[in-house]
Amino acid sequence: MADMQTLGELEQLILLAILRLGPEAFGLSIARELELQAGRRLSRGALYTTLDRLELKGLVRWKLETGGPERAGLPKRLYTVSARGVSALRASQRVLDRMWRGLDDIFGERSS
């Protein structure tokens, strides 16, 4: 796990949104999912910069698909999370779980 890159919060949220959307994970749908599920509004630039960074890290892949009539046939990128991306998310989840463990007294509820 020493070579595992740390994921930032936005990277985690985008990876999770892609996984939630499955075959419908393209730019606009990812942005909508982030707003709906996480209350995060992103500029187009912030979204695509993060998607490009995730691709450079080998955590996401994309393929072009022909757009429908709503896009006048313009292609769109469909994103998928790679196996490496899933592993990075699992590692992040384990770290967060460890950090939350034992904080019941502080938050007044069961933390795990």
Please report whether residue 13 resides in a domain.
Answer: yes
Structural domains of the chain, count = 1
Confidence band, pLDDT 50/70/90 cuts, at residue 1: very low
Is the residue at 39 inside a domain?
Answer: yes
Cα 63 to chain centroid, rounded: 17
> CATH number of the domain that 44 lies in?
1.10.10.10
Q: Which residue has the higher pLDDT, 1 or 18?
A: 18
Residue 42's domain spans which residues?
Answer: 9-82
CA distance 9 to 70: 32
Q: What is the pLDDT of residues 13-66, one digit of tens each?
A: 999 999 999 999 999 999 999 999 999 999 999 999 999 999 999 999 999 988
Predicted confidence at residue 4, as pLDDT, reads: 59
3 inside domain: no
Of all helices (H) and strands (E), which one includes residue 46? helix 44-56
pTM of the predicted protein model: 0.86
Per DSSP, the residues of 69-85 read GGGTT--EEEEEE-HHH
